[in-house]
Amino acid sequence: MRVGLFVTCLADVMRPSIGLAAVDLLERAGCQVIFPENQTCCGQPAYNAGDRLTAQELARKVVSEFADVDYVVIPSGSCGGMIKAHYEDLFSDLPKYKAKAQWLSARTYELTDFLVNVVHMNSFETSFQGTITYHDSCAGLRELNIKQQPRQLLRTLPNVELREMPGAEQCCGFGGTFSVKYGDISSRIVDLKCDDLEGTEADAVVLGDLGCMLNIEGKLRRRGNHKTKVLHIAEVLTGRNGEEAE
Partner 1 sequence: MEITSQDFKAVSSAKLKDEKLQKALFQAKDGFVVSRAKVIKDLDNFEDIRQAASEVRDHCLAHLDEYLEAWEVRAQASGTVVHWAESYEELNAIVVKIAQNNQVKKIIKSKSMVGEETGLNEYVEGHGIEVKETDLGEYIIQQAGEYPSHIIAPATHKSKEDVSELFAKKHQRPRLNDAEKLTHEAREILRPHFLDADMGITGANFMIAETGSTVIVTNEGNGRMTTTMPRVHVAISSIEKCIPTLDDFALMMRLLPRSATGQVISNYVSMTTGPKREADLDGPGEFHVVILDVGRTRVLGSELRDALRCIRCGACMNHCPVYQNVGGHAYGWVYPGPIGSVLTPAYNGIENAIDLPNAATLCNQCGVVCPVKIPLPDLMRKLREKQYEKNLKSKTERWSLKVFAYVAIRPQLYSIVTRVMARAGKILGGNSGQIKRMIFVGQDWTKHRDLPTPRGRTFRDVYLNKKKTSKR
Residues 40-79 that bind partner 1 (CB under 8 A): 40-41, 45-52, 54, 57-58, 61
Using CA atoms, how far residue 137 sits from 53, 59, 102, 120, 211, in Å, is: 27, 22, 24, 22, 9
Complex with partner 1: residue 65 or 113, whichever CB lies closer = 65
The yes or no reply on residue 147 touching partner 1 (CB under 8 A) is: no
Question: CA torsion 216→122→108→134, rounded to 10°?
Answer: -20
We find the least distance from the C-beta atom of residue 61 to partner 1, in angstroms, to be 7
Binding residues for partner 1 restricted to 13-42, rule: CB under 8 A = 13-20, 23, 35, 37-41
User: What distance in Å separates the CA atoms of residue 138 and residue 122, rounded to the nearest whole number?
Assistant: 25
Binding residues for partner 1 restricted to 179-218, rule: CB under 8 A = 179-190, 192, 213-215, 217-218
Complex with partner 1: residue 110 or 143, whichever CB lies closer = 143
Using CA atoms, how far residue 25 sits from 124, 148, 159, 170, in Å, is: 8, 18, 19, 28
Binding residues for partner 1 restricted to 93-132, rule: CB under 8 A = none
The yes or no reply on residue 143 touching partner 1 (CB under 8 A) is: yes
3-state SS assignment for residue 4: strand
Q: Is there a contact between 84 and 143 (Cβ–Cβ < 8 Å)? A: yes
We find the least distance from the C-beta atom of residue 185 to partner 1, in angstroms, to be 6
We find the least distance from the C-beta atom of residue 187 to partner 1, in angstroms, to be 4
We find the least distance from the C-beta atom of residue 11 to partner 1, in angstroms, to be 6
| Torsions phi, psi for 123 (to 5 deg) | -140, 140
The yes or no reply on residue 83 touching partner 1 (CB under 8 A) is: no
We find the least distance from the C-beta atom of residue 129 to partner 1, in angstroms, to be 22
Q: What is the CA radius of gyration of the chain?
A: 17
DSSP string, 175-216: TTTHHHHTHHHHHHHHHHHHHHHHHTT-SEEEES-HHHHHHH
Complex with partner 1: residue 136 or 203, whichever CB lies closer = 136
| Torsions phi, psi for 165 (to 5 deg) | -100, 155
Out of 4, 6, 7, 228, which residue is the one contacting partner 1 (CB under 8 A)? 7
User: What distance in Å separates the CA atoms of residue 156 and residue 123, rounded to the nearest whole number?
Assistant: 7
What number of chain residues touch partner 1 (CB under 8 A)?
71
Complex with partner 1: residue 16 or 118, whichever CB lies closer = 16
Handedness of CA 7, 13, 14, 15 (dihedral sign): positive
We find the least distance from the C-beta atom of residue 165 to partner 1, in angstroms, to be 15
The yes or no reply on residue 224 touching partner 1 (CB under 8 A) is: no
Complex with partner 1: residue 161 or 244, whichever CB lies closer = 244
Binding residues for partner 1 restricted to 153-172, rule: CB under 8 A = 169-171
